[in-house]
Amino acid sequence: MAEFLTHNSMFAQDSFAQTLAQDLLETYGSPLYVYEGDRLCHTLHHITQAFEYPHTHFHFASVTNGNVALLQMIRGAGWGLHANTPGDVFLGLTAGFHPDQIVYSGSNLNAVEMQQLRDWGVTTLNLDSLSQLELCCKIYAASTASIDPDGLRLGLRLNVPELTGESRIGVRPEELPAAIALTHQWGLCLTGVHFYRGTGTNATQAFTQVIDRVIAIAQTLPDWRYLDFGGGFGYPYRHGGAAFDWPAFGAEMTQALQTLNRPTERPIELIIEPGRAAIAGCATLLTRVVSVKWQGDRQIVGTDTTVANLSVPSVHGGYREIRALSPSHTSTLYSTDVCGNTTYSRDYLGRQCPLPQLEIGDILAILDVGAYGYAMSSHFLHRPRPAEVLLEGSSHRLIRQREDYQVLIRNQIFV
């Protein structure tokens, strides 16, 4: 099942993909982000079904992809939203999420931003430090006209080096008594903990082996109500690589929480925040070949997109599978460097890719760009960003317009 979910893109099916890609590029232009709605829905369903624990809530990490049309699909699947920033919250509200469906787990908000979260009605917040907790308590306790204090869920992000390695995120367990006292000073309660393993982790055991320790820490909270086991769940960009085992993780989380002895108390709510794992495999970046040259037996291919339209190597490791979708001109595969349309010396979309001999106008598909693709794209070297299209069954529609050069001077002030 995991292999189906991660590497069954329709753009890996050559005969159909050639016709579809040609049609899409003729309709919307190149380069183009293409999202497969059916794959997104199947992936959300697969993750949801992995948890039998009845008090589980899923919140999509919109830091990975903030397209409102996609967020609306995710909301329609019964998921909530996980927000790292006020911008994530704004996008979620625009997509129709109720404030109660949004969990904020971020860091380093100033007072204006914290007030904005309160004004938007966000009621679940995992804070990154005691100072952020104090700021939150001050602002939320100052005015409870539209927020029920009993419905306010305040938590802390955990920093446990032996579980997560060295990290700037979160507070140490020994800080929890001070945090409990702080919230009580404001007439509030500390009710949750948030565990963040680290971005892009494919090893299921990295999560399952720490469940008991995280629960033990959470149990030190006298008002404990929820466990946010966070995000950081990975995606195997290299086909055949280790994939996160959602059924195994769901089974162990379910067993651990169902064995808690809380006969007279409300059950603990479990929050899971997939981002990359939910959406990475649902998108492809289509691009056309604009230049071909040879350096010895290595093929150097230039395209009409750029590395600025993919996430930075520190986030995804610098690898995406690239497929040639145009009719093959030869059965021989050559070591190919696929390059972007800037003069940046590191503008490589892929290196040493096994591709056939290519010609100008051929179509390439860069797979698995749904997470941190458009979300981390930029105007580096002043290239406008591509359009985004959603495939729904046999139909397709535009969900973000292509930028033009006017975007480069918008908001500038000059004479």
| DSSP secondary structure letter of residue 172 | -
Over residues 130-140, the pLDDT tens digits come to 999 999 999 99
Co-location of 275 and 286 in the same domain: no
Co-location of 164 and 224 in the same domain: yes
pTM of the model: 0.94
Co-location of 290 and 266 in the same domain: no
The ranges of the chain with pLDDT < 50 are 1-4
Buried b (16+ CB within 10 A) or exposed e, 294-318: eeeeebebbbbbbbbbbbeeebbeb
Exposed/middle/buried for residue 114 (C-beta within 10 Å: 0-12, 13-18, 19+): buried
Q: Give the whole-angstrom CA distance, residue 142 versus residue 52.
A: 39
Co-location of 296 and 401 in the same domain: yes
Q: Give the whole-angstrom CA distance, residue 202 versus residue 73.
A: 25
Answer positive or negative: Cα dihedral of 183, 185, 186, 188.
positive
Q: Give the whole-angstrom CA distance, residue 374 versus residue 385.
A: 8
The number of folded domains in the chain is 2
Co-location of 156 and 176 in the same domain: yes
* Boundary residue ending a domain (279, 298, 324): 279
pLDDT given at position 4: 42
| DSSP secondary structure letter of residue 373 | S
CATH classification at residue 261: 3.20.20.10
Co-location of 221 and 297 in the same domain: no
Co-location of 176 and 192 in the same domain: yes
Asked if 11 contacts 367 with a C-beta cutoff of 8 angstroms, the reply is: yes
Co-location of 254 and 307 in the same domain: no
Neighbours of 248 (CB within 10 A): 14
Over residues 89-133, the pLDDT tens digits come to 999 999 999 999 999 999 999 999 999 999 999 999 999 999 999
Co-location of 300 and 399 in the same domain: yes
Co-location of 71 and 135 in the same domain: yes
pLDDT given at position 208: 94
Domain range for 274: 37-279
Asked if residue 14 is part of any domain, the answer here is no
Asked if residue 77 is part of any domain, the answer here is yes
pLDDT given at position 9: 72
Co-location of 213 and 357 in the same domain: no
Coil/strand/helix, residue 131: helix
